[in-house]
Amino acid sequence: MKIKASRYEKKDYIGYLFLLPWIIGFLLFKFYPFLMSFYYSFTDFNMINPPELIGLKNFIKIFTTDADFYQSLKVTLIYTTFSVPVKLIFALFIAMVLSMKLKGINIFRTIYYLPSILGGSVAVSILWKFLFMRQGLVNKILSYLTIGPIDFLGDPDVALYTISMLSVWQFGSSMVLFLAALKNVPGELYEAAAVDGAGKLRTFFKITIPMITPIILFNLIMQTINTLQTFTSALVITNGGPVKSTYLYGMMLYEEAFQFMNMGYASALSWILFIIIIGLTAAIFKFSSYWTFYEDGGDF
């Protein structure tokens, strides 16, 4: 028994050695900055002089005198409310098309996943800017239909939705998860629905949607969290304009931290965003019990 116990302990030790690089990386690059940002949020810190404790002054200034905070928060919530549902609906639609048994379907699946590999990088944002500028390709195509030109990036009522479409375009990761969920819906359910005379639309809403609600919930949470932190598209495509109609919360954070060097103020802003994300995630989980279906009853 002693020999078996010593072997078991040795395996444990080796396991921790394999985990050690990740643990060190997590502590240095995730946990330590996380704790320090909380401390800096109560300080006046410009990265040149030592941080000076000022209590709640950063938070009081944010909520009482900073009009940009409310503008960026409003823009970010509109951006998220538009982007996330449209992205999930589009991803589900493409997943249903790609779940059909067609020749060369794997090639199409790879092609549709490419936008997610490219991500919201600077290069893709620049491409988006050239496509939707006043003399861009989209306006040239519309001109053949005697439409426009439309000022996609210069009109305050349109610019936010234009950069939102870049987020929608990166639907690949959600689409892959929907595709896997659709493949796992038991075929017997569709056969029973067909025998009962249910049409395609009724089958979709009564069988397909309920069976994939756990994946819908997962995609909804992950996409909401990611979208609330969007930064690159607003900076590269519109620089927050026109008249701050695309001034996302992430952009305000960037300006305070790296343009104005107000690290303490930026840390306070980041903690407010963190609390908003936690609150929204908790609310989604709370209300998910009314529309999410688990085969095991959700007991996990």
User: 196-242: per-residue pLDDT in tens?
Assistant: 888 888 999 999 999 999 999 999 999 999 999 988 888 888 888 78
Per-residue model confidence as pLDDT tens digits over 240-296: 878 889 999 999 999 999 999 999 999 999 999 999 999 999 999 999 888 888 776
pLDDT of 31 above 60: yes
pLDDT of 157 above 70: yes
Provide the mean pLDDT of the chain. Answer: 87
Measured distance CA(42)–CA(249) in Å, rounded: 20
Give the other-Cβ count within 10 Å of 194's Cβ.
12
The reported pLDDT for the residue numbered 3 is 52
The reported pLDDT for the residue numbered 33 is 93
The reported pLDDT for the residue numbered 288 is 86
Record the pTM: 0.86
Residue whose C-alpha is closest to residue 268's, from 26, 30, 44, 29 = 44
The reported pLDDT for the residue numbered 272 is 96
* High-pLDDT (> 70) share of the chain, %: 91
pLDDT of 10 above 70: no
